[in-house]
Structure 1
Amino acid sequence: MNPMSSSERLPLGQFLLERGLINAADLERALASQQMAGLRLGRLLVRLGAISEDNLLPALAEHLGLSLLGEAELQAESANILRTVEMLGIPRPWFAERGLVVFEAADGALHCAARYPQDSFLQEVMSAQAQGHQLVWHLMRSRDEEWLAKLLAPQSDDGIGGDETAHLRELAEEAPVIELVNTVFAQAADENASDIHIEPEEHEFFVRLRVDGVLQTRATLPSERFAAVASRIKLIAGLDIAERRLPQDGRITLRVSGVDLDVRVSVVPGVHGESVVMRLLPKNQAEFRLDRLGLEPDHLKLFLRWAREPNGIILVTGPTGSGKSTTLYAVLSEVNDRQSKIITVEDPVEYRMRGVTQIQTQAEIGYTFGRALRAILRQDPDIIMIGEIRDLETAEIAVQSALTGHTVFSTLHTNDALSAFTRLVDMGVEPFLVASSVRAVQAQRLVRRLCPHCAKPAEMPGGIAPLLDDLRERAPGLFENAPNWRVAGGCEHCQHTGYRGRLGIYEMVDVSPDIQTAIMQRQPAHHLAALARAQGYRTLREDGLVKAWQGLTSVEEVLRVTGTSDAVAEEA
């Protein structure tokens, strides 16, 4: 038998419920904690005590349309299993690590028994290795994995014990390991994930993808497989595969599903092994445009004016992963008319742009932001983009550049737009220099966009009426259409999250003469907020509510992302 496709069967929880093997309360509890736990539903139900493994597995076999093989049946095939493994040419440890039994039947079919026979990776590898044999899948009990490990334990003459580095390299170059890592990259690319997290624990490790800003578990694998996977990633990233005591950073360039990716790799030692995190950066990014970032008409008009400032600093603020780089590239695309000299200083250069001189800093050889900026001032630039103002040296050069006739775009890590002025002063820049050089500040976050296939109509959530009434009074033009409140549903198009894609929410501060005076006088943040509000400023949360009014996202998502970041502005 082959595992039935998911479209042909009931969800497992409903299947077990209908057969009286679990109750509705246990199912609800398991489903509520499944994403956080990162476990398959059946395994989670066993851990919660809702059902025993002995009761679960026969039902799971029926659910999958497979037979359940017991230890006696497997032991009867011991010699056949060893012979089949040798025939396939895959190292024995690979089968033991994956809890997979393979043996050839009299009719020539290959029988495969596994704890998770529905694992697409196992199915793909065995299909590729089957050499024309028919595959018949079975379910196996987890306790039989110990017997399998003993059966397939390497003999002393297998050469497995030698030099550790050589052994790790061998593991990393095994075809199944390569296939697994490639599958992870392919799935991440298909889901437009920004990051891949590989996280080891005591008995297993998790593969998680950050999709639309939220980590989602995609695989839970036995810890025995972790060394091979981590070694493979370190090998292709140019890292020392034997070094497991110190952090390492590397880079991978690859093509997946027709997309060229630049992958930044970070490996950090942990209690149960190395945590591996990979940031995915598509090289051939779609065209960057300000009018595609989700800016409301008044914000777009304001930003287009900022982009054409003849001099001064325009700052984009927000935490890592809030879309700051995308905004900066969109601004550069707007001003890239081939009549101006545009130079960027970045770490790293995330996307290549035609008509722009892009410089990569290299701190390890002393080529810092400050040193690079001093050099490019001799390159006759009109527009300078600094990837991030990290220290006083960079801030002072940015201010100097702005005051000598250059337009400078850069980013800061602050929670809101108004905190940018305080941040620069705290770095050591004199308040009068901040006031005279900074023209504008934009803060931003990314909220998840409601899935168009499953979003549900809703009433206006309680508790937001006062904030909404105040906003509608100050900016009536944003609320000309009827409200379209919606909440997340969940379907196959959005991996049952209710969201698909992201859009930006923004707050913008245009530095007026009154705000300049307040900065020079070191006025507190709430005073700056009152001045900004008088000229049309709205907070991140308020801009998010505009998007929720339009039905683009949910109020719940806006509140999740903004948290307490608007507290100062809302006190004004």
Structure 2
Amino acid sequence: MVARKKNKTDDEIIGMKEALELLDVTQPTFYRWIREGKISGNKVGRQWRFKKADIEGFLRGESPAQKLPSNFDGLISQLEKATQKDVAKENEKEDVVDYAVFLLLQLAIEHCASDIHLEPGQPGRIRYRFDGVLHEIVNIEEECSKTLIKKIKTLAQCNVNINDLPQDGRIQCELMKTKLDIRITFLPTIAGEEAILKLFSSTENFMDLEKVIAQKNHLATIKDSLSKSYGLHICCGPTGSGKTTTLYSMLQSLDHSGNKIITIENPVEYRFPSMTQIQVYPAKGLDMAAAFRSALRGAPNVLFIGEIHDAITAELALKAALTGHIVLTQMHTDDMSSALTRLLDFGVSPYLIADSLGVVVSQRLLRKLCPECSKASSLNGDDLKDVKKWAESSGIKFEDLSKEWKSSEGCDACKGTGYKGRISVNEVGTLKPSIIKSMIKEENREALAQKIQNEGIINLLGESLRFVSEGKTSLSEIKRVILSSR
């Protein structure tokens, strides 16, 4: 159902020129006030937009207000106004569309969304992803969707006249004192053009490794491996499991004046002024392997490879680690056993793996139970049987679990989902003699996984059970995230 229409907006939006006229100051002075936080404004690309009420409030000596609407009616109202045929002036229409885009992004920040999906249809819809799960926010008419996507294309420096071919763009902006790097993909579909906006926060807000890795024993293992002057360190898991965040946190822990860090990525997701970052362009002949060979000539201490996906890159990474480099990368595999199996399938020598490999971090993200509405609960018969079975298969004792079971019903704080925020669950391991022997014998993945478990390395299912027993997450999250990929 399309959201109800409003006749007028609650706030009048003005541009830089009108704001300067109201304040009667020079542009440099105005910019200084913005930097000092005395005036609240929104900037996307090169354009500034302000609420007239905020400027008038500043003249009265009031602090800038940052409160945003709690629903999306204002956004739809702006879009519908922009597509009305009776909008008299083109610049008035442009202002309305600008504000609609600002609202779309502001509301995403306010609700902690990681990405925005503008999907076509009759009607179309806007969906936000919260804590890894997509939620439908509102339906929009076709013309509203087209108007919004056209404006986003302009800001992303894409061709607004092409809607039958995919396009990629990027917007860098600052909203609500949050610096954003937004990666955008435009897709032609049979229902119309779709836009997917992925929101990346500034590196200034990047999390420390201590906040990313929840378990202290895993953190100690990772730090010990990174303290060595060489080694290939792999983070593995499916798309959306937080691998990039973990790897960049590991990179930041190595980012000091004594290290030369070079990253090779496709695309560069986060930008670090202190690192040398290379964007690969396969169409121009600069693929991952070619960029890697060039990077080695730059005398780095630390190398970050966006992904190992072929035999050439795998062997280059392992040989670089063997010759005195710290190499970090990711693989789209389920766990440590599948990562090792993938390397062997690439034809890499097990002896090279044994000499070069550092730590392997397998990761998933589980939604955390909402602290506002979660409460103590007990397991029913079937759930209890499942937990005991999973604990046994993971090599942990049911008796050792905390058994502080909790459940949540949903509340306003968690938007009725019962969850708020996410926590990373990890399998962290290094090579042991029995694991190396298993690789040399070319045993299958199941046998390799058993050797890993026999060495006391708890798998993702076992680590997830510990979180459930501590009241941090739920059994349904284990089924949704962990068991669905087994």
Contact 1:435–1:520 at 8 Å: present in 2 too? no
Counterpart-to-counterpart distance in 2, 1:227 and 1:465: 49
- Would the alpha carbon gap of residues 284 and 433 (structure 1) be closer, same or farther in structure 2, given more than 3 Å must change? closer
Counterpart-to-counterpart distance in 2, 1:195 and 1:122: 19
Unaligned runs of 5+ in 2: 13-70
Q: Which has the higher contact order (CA 8 A, sep 6+)?
A: 2
Deviations 1:360-395 (A, max 9, x none): 323343322212211121122222111211323322
Contact 1:311–1:407 at 8 Å: present in 2 too? yes
1:259 alignment partner in structure 2: 178
For residue 343 of structure 1, report the CA deviation from its aligned partner: 2.1
Deviations 1:456-478 (A, max 9, x none): 32113333332365389747997
For residue 552 of structure 1, report the CA deviation from its aligned partner: 1.2
2:392 paired residue among 455, 470, 473: 470
Contact 2:409–2:417 at 8 Å: present in 1 too? yes
The alignment partner of 1:418 has SS state of: helix
Contact 1:416–1:565 at 8 Å: present in 2 too? no
2:188 alignment partner in structure 1: 269
Deviations 1:506-552 (A, max 9, x none): 11232112212211221111111111111111221211111111111
- The aligned amino acid for 1:325 is T
Contact 1:448–1:502 at 8 Å: present in 2 too? yes
1:342 alignment partner in structure 2: 261
2:460 alignment partner in structure 1: 540
Deviations 1:219-238 (A, max 9, x none): 11112322111111111111
2:295 paired residue among 376, 383, 408: 376
1:436 paired residue among 336, 355, 362: 355
- The aligned amino acid for 2:187 is V
Counterpart-to-counterpart distance in 2, 1:528 and 1:515: 7
The alignment partner of 2:253 has SS state of: helix
Unaligned runs of 5+ in 1: 1-38, 44-59, 67-80, 89-116, 130-148, 160-169, 567-572
Q: Cα RMSD between the aligned structures?
A: 3.3
- Would the alpha carbon gap of residues 171 and 513 (structure 1) be closer, same or farther in structure 2, given more than 3 Å must change? farther
2:218 paired residue among 285, 296, 299: 299
Kindly indicate whether residue 198 of structure 2 is the aligned counterpart of residue 279 of structure 1: yes
Within a 5 Å distance, the mapping from 1:135-284 to structure 2 comes to: 174-201=94-121, 203-284=122-203
- The aligned amino acid for 1:492 is D
Aligned length: 422
For residue 348 of structure 1, report the CA deviation from its aligned partner: 2.6
The alignment partner of 1:393 has SS state of: helix
2:285 alignment partner in structure 1: 366
1:499 alignment partner in structure 2: 419
Counterpart-to-counterpart distance in 2, 1:476 and 1:337: 43
The alignment partner of 2:268 has SS state of: coil
The alignment partner of 2:355 has SS state of: helix
Deviations 1:383-420 (A, max 9, x none): 21112113233222102201212121100011222111
1:526 paired residue among 440, 446, 463: 446
- Would the alpha carbon gap of residues 171 and 526 (structure 1) be closer, same or farther in structure 2, given more than 3 Å must change? farther
Q: Greater CA deviation, 182-191 or 333-342?
A: 333-342
Counterpart-to-counterpart distance in 2, 1:334 and 1:190: 29
- The aligned amino acid for 1:527 is A
> Percentage identity across aligned positions?
33
Contact 2:79–2:148 at 8 Å: present in 1 too? no
Larger CA Rg, structure 1 vs 2 = 1
For residue 189 of structure 1, report the CA deviation from its aligned partner: 1.3
Contact 1:446–1:503 at 8 Å: present in 2 too? yes
Q: What is the TM-score when the length of structure 2 is the normalising length?
A: 0.79
Deviations 1:199-233 (A, max 9, x none): 111x1111111110000111111123221111111
For residue 290 of structure 1, report the CA deviation from its aligned partner: 2.1
2:41 alignment partner in structure 1: none
Contact 2:394–2:461 at 8 Å: present in 1 too? no
